[in-house]
Amino acid sequence: MPPNPPAEIRLAYSRAAGLVAIAHGEQYRWANTALEQAGFTKRDDGSYSTPGPDVRAAAAKLLPLAQRHHATVGVSPRPFLGDIADRIAARLPGTWTAQVEIYAHPVWQGDLLPWLWDGGELVLGRGGPAGAIRGDAHQ
């Protein structure tokens, strides 16, 4: 795998949505195409979810399509960011919300580094394709 492939798909597990996929890289649209052809459903936040409960079948269908569209597929060692953000918001005093934003192109990710709590993947040169924004529900 090249150090920075032009198109990548990062898979993560979500308790709420099952297998979630995020397309990113300079040619992230190639990864979007592979996900759509594999039957993944685009979610409101820009990520994709599996087309049913059979995660293995969805992944098996995705892999050859991703390869055809020059996209690599990786599995995140962390749960889906949206689940983490929701858990943090639920534990804050008052009423808070969390929203995932997708930063598919690496250029869109660079400006965020100073705002990160954990910049591990960005600092290591592996841009994070998503971020979670928290907000006070009363604003």
> Model confidence over 75-111: pLDDT tens digits?
988 888 889 888 988 998 988 888 888 888 877 766 6
CA contacts within 13 A on the Cβ side of 107: 3
Structure-block tokens of residue 115: 């705002």
pTM for this entry: 0.79
Pair 78, 120: CB distance under 8 Å: no
The per-residue pLDDT for range 1-23, each reduced to its tens digit, is 556 789 999 999 898 888 999 99
